[in-house]
Structure 1
């Protein structure tokens, strides 16, 4: 990252919008590593541009990052067609600023990012720029280099699709954290009865091992099945780590309460949660693919817009 005190005017302008650029790219790609790559590519394009012709650096940089991210998304989607088991986004540690903004936190939730995966690259870009960052359709049309009419149509399709697949239950954040704490205590203590109280009847567990570590290759569905899965945590080894060697930490992951599991020498997995209208856990996303845990391992905590 460029340090402001070392930067020239062009670097300062880029640095001013770097958080925005990463925030857009991560929501478009679902990968912190890919988002960092396209932000770096955006810097190279910005450095080579004739900035005397740039009237609005924010709009110019948003156009660069949107098109780079859409191009990367088209490429990575072909790779994901052969992915082993469910594909989940790369989890990130988020700061209190993200957690304080309900809309911002929801827009980086694992549940929403999974739904965004089902959109086309254009629909995803339009949805993110309009619904998360409040760009006008005219601004988005310029950013994605499409007509305003095409952008409006893409935005309408995306919004309907997301609303159908991602009902929002804002709930109370303190209650969500309390439920997560109780879930973690019950899972590590093998308390099946409490787990069944905290889980929604139709709860679904998604596990992403990417073929690198052993995980369920299909979603695990149903109250009793999911409850028994987690009740066994305190009695069975997980990825070669015995229960006594495993540490579970409650922290902020993707804008909400999450759990990071650590062994003696590595991060093993993360858990994030979605909740139903009654505040029970309706979905659990378990990322165990080591390729997606590097940012967690490095302790990078992202500030997002």
Structure 2
């Protein structure tokens, strides 16, 4: 008998097949849940269910990837059903977990295990913070249907089997989700322009330039902070450009030693605040035209693990 570690050992083709789906599953579960930690748990549970089956049942499955996707999606659907109850108990506002650019990935997986590059989420328009926030307002069935069909290109017949609805009902769910997206997301500014506005915002904040900050913010802009009870934040959204500027200057006065860095947040230009080299806040922006419409500041340490380098390395 040989093992994969021995010279000449044969690689189990079924193992290779299921592990090749890992990145796809992580990408799917993150978009469905808005949490990398929960996405990792879903993928782990999906694999546990695969290995709980007998070899005969495994061999009878025609598409391993299709089976894994179906199981992971159903687990996510169940989690989304209970997420609203959990988030009602959450301290303050809940914001999806921010992701760094793959070149800036620092601490690996949220469970402390070193990150495999295959685990990293593909950063495209379907994971920018504004998009994920809109997804949070959808019903579980609406969200799962939209992501599976519009983002991952599954047919409505396939989606119907997962969500337990008819294909026609799934078509309506996807249509409703698209209307939500269109209503909540005006045309985004070009990436280069967004990066320039974020840079101007950073410089104005560091200089305490009230006029410049106000000019960069939409008069009806909203800022939301997520500390999860683990970090001090304003528990309610701050509405209005001038009110946001006052809050920013208050933060500067209270935390004078923080350093602001330009970083990619969920595929979009953003900022990271560090103290003593440790990331304490990740800031994402929603920019339309030449103004910032939304600011999301994530301070909950549980959501910042991919951003925080392990001191031992």
Q: TM-score range by the shorter chain?
A: 0.7 to 0.9
Choose which of 62, 66, 88 in structure 2 pairs with 1:59. Answer: 66
**SS in structure 2 opposite 1:80?**
helix
For the structure 1 residues 263 and 56, does the alpha-carbon distance in structure 2 shift closer, same or farther, using more than 3 Å as the test? same
**SS in structure 1 opposite 2:284?**
strand
Q: Hey, what does 2:233 align to over in structure 1? A: 215
Matched, 1:181 2:188: no
CA distance in 2, matches of 1:186, 1:167: 26
Matches within 5 A, 1:85-100: 85-95=92-102
Choose which of 260, 281, 288 in structure 2 pairs with 1:248. Answer: 260
Whether the 8 Å CA contact 1:200–1:282 is kept in 2: the answer is yes
**SS in structure 2 opposite 1:295?**
helix
For the structure 1 residues 195 and 25, does the alpha-carbon distance in structure 2 shift closer, same or farther, using more than 3 Å as the test? same
Q: Hey, what does 2:113 align to over in structure 1? A: none
Choose which of 285, 295, 298 in structure 1 pairs with 2:296. Answer: 285
**Number of aligned residues:** 282
Choose which of 44, 53, 57 in structure 1 pairs with 2:48. Answer: 44
Q: Hey, what does 1:11 align to over in structure 2? A: 15
Matches within 5 A, 1:198-213: 198-213=216-231
Stretches of structure 2 lacking an aligned partner (at least 5 in a row): 104-121
Whether the 8 Å CA contact 1:188–1:233 is kept in 2: the answer is no
Matched, 1:131 2:143: no
Q: Hey, what does 2:159 align to over in structure 1? A: 140
CA distance in 2, matches of 1:261, 1:60: 42
| Larger Rg computed on CA atoms | 2
What whole-Å deviation, never above 9, does each CA across 1:4-32 have from its counterpart, x for those lacking one?
x9963222112222111111101111111
Matched, 1:119 2:119: no
State the shift of 1:203 in Å: 0.9
Runs of 4+ residues deviating >4 angstroms:
none
State the shift of 1:104 in Å: 5.8
Whether the 8 Å CA contact 1:206–1:284 is kept in 2: the answer is yes
CA distance in 2, matches of 1:81, 1:66: 23
Whether the 8 Å CA contact 1:189–1:231 is kept in 2: the answer is no
Matches within 5 A, 1:256-271: 256-264=268-276, 266-271=278-283
Whether the 8 Å CA contact 1:190–1:233 is kept in 2: the answer is no
Whether the 8 Å CA contact 1:187–1:232 is kept in 2: the answer is no
Choose which of 158, 169, 175 in structure 2 pairs with 1:156. Answer: 175
**SS in structure 2 opposite 1:252?**
strand
**SS in structure 1 opposite 2:229?**
coil
TM-score (ref. length: structure 1): 0.85
Range with greater deviation from structure 2 (219-228 or 42-51)? 42-51
Choose which of 72, 76, 79 in structure 1 pairs with 2:86. Answer: 79
When the two chains are superposed, the root-mean-square deviation of aligned CA atoms in Å is 2.3
Q: Hey, what does 2:116 align to over in structure 1? A: none
Whether the 8 Å CA contact 2:126–2:151 is kept in 1: the answer is yes
Whether the 8 Å CA contact 1:190–1:232 is kept in 2: the answer is no
For the structure 1 residues 187 and 104, does the alpha-carbon distance in structure 2 shift closer, same or farther, using more than 3 Å as the test? same
What whole-Å deviation, never above 9, does each CA across 1:125-163 have from its counterpart, x for those lacking one?
001112212222122123334321232222222222332
**SS in structure 1 opposite 2:254?**
coil
TM-score (ref. length: structure 2): 0.83
CA distance in 2, matches of 1:273, 1:74: 28
**SS in structure 1 opposite 2:96?**
coil
**SS in structure 2 opposite 1:274?**
strand
